[in-house]
Amino acid sequence: AVVGDLAQVETIIPPAADPEAFEPRPSDLARLKGASVVIRVGLGYDHWLDKLLSMHGDAAINRGGAGYVDASIGIPLLEVKGSSVDPATRDGHAHGLANPHYWLDPANAEIITGGIAEAGIRVAPEAAAKIIANRDAFLDRLKADLVEWEQLLAPHRAARLIAYHNTWPYFARRFRLNIVDVIEIKEGVTPSPARLAKLAATIREQKIRVIVHEPFEPEDAPQLLARRTGAVVVKLAPSVGSVPAATDFRALFDYNVATLARALSAASN
């Protein structure tokens, strides 16, 4: 979206892996060799990257370097712990500083791509005009897409949902949805029978019809709740590549919005 054909873009985390549970391998260090820019989610989501960058040793792509981008800088964060988030400590444990899933509000792409463009221009000033033009074209297309996405979900404004993981606050705020509760209250810990019973009661009492699930999360608890309550489990994509249809940033929202709108429409009939 920003660099276009000016550079080759690689990701360290495999597309279908859980980023918050990812453990880098020695071979991942080799992928940093020759990198001019490193982009991180920040807020502890990719805390493992610090070790890789330290081992790599290139100051240009370490914190403070010309090619280092913390994409969370400047984002209006949700679920902030304390009065502010200090940029110097933004790489603590995931969800420890604020909810890190900010890219799931498509409007935040303007801030995210701004930081990426600035880094690209710092390391390749001769490409500044092309980088700016690429970003502008991407944002123009995204704004048109956002109007369509909002229209698709407008009939379901304030719809109540249960999510497996606390991934969706930014998405819910943008599209005016209501995440009533989450199944997994602690990362990687299986919900207890008492927790599931409480969630089932909430689903029945509030007439919640959709449970949001992610591809790499366990399916047992969502499916059990669905059987007990009649709600449907809907698989949404938390990031690009996590489902085959989510091939890029815009396709991520095409998939999520269409999938959720379809499920909510069916549930209301």
Q: In the chain, what are the domain boundaries?
A: 4-140, 157-268
- What whole-number distance in Å separates Cα of residue 4 and Cα of residue 63? 24
pLDDT of residue 92: 42
pLDDT at 7: 79
Domain 4-140 of CATH type 3.90.1150.10: no
Domains 4-140 and 157-268 share a fold: yes
Residue scoring higher pLDDT (174 or 1): 174
Q: Give CA–CA dist 184/211, Å, rounded.
A: 12
pLDDT score at 143: 98
- Residue 83 has a pLDDT of 52
Which pLDDT score, from 0 to 100, does residue 91 have?
Answer: 44
- Average pLDDT for residues 185-194, to the nearest whole number? 89
What digits encode the pLDDT tens for the residues 125-168?
999 999 999 999 999 999 999 999 999 999 999 999 999 999 99
Give how far the C-alpha of residue 182 lies from the chain's centroid of Cα atoms, to the nearest Å.
Answer: 16
DSSP state, residue 176: T
- Mean pLDDT to the nearest integer, 243-257: 97
Q: How confident is the model at residue 15 (pLDDT cuts 50, 70, 90)?
A: confident
Please say if the pLDDT value at position 195 is more than 60: yes
| 88: pLDDT strictly greater than 50 | no
Average pLDDT over residues 253-261: 99
Q: What tokens were used for 221?
A: 């608890």
**Euclidean distance between CA atoms 1 and 240, whole angstroms:** 13
Residue 171 CB partners (closer than 8 Å, separation 6+): 101, 104, 105, 177, 256
At residue 13, the pLDDT reads 86
CA 5 to chain centre: 24
**137 CB neighbour count, 10 Å cutoff:** 12
Whether the pLDDT of residue 84 is over 70: the answer is no
pLDDT-based confidence at 212, cuts 50/70/90?
very high
Contact 219, 165 (CB under 8 A): no
- Token pair of 85, please? 């988030």
In one-letter notation, the amino acid at residue 250 is R
Output 115 or 27, whichever has higher pLDDT.
115
Indicate the average pLDDT of the chain: 91
pLDDT at 58 over 80: yes
Fold (topology level) of 157-268: Rossmann fold (3.40.50)
Share of the chain above pLDDT 70, in %: 94
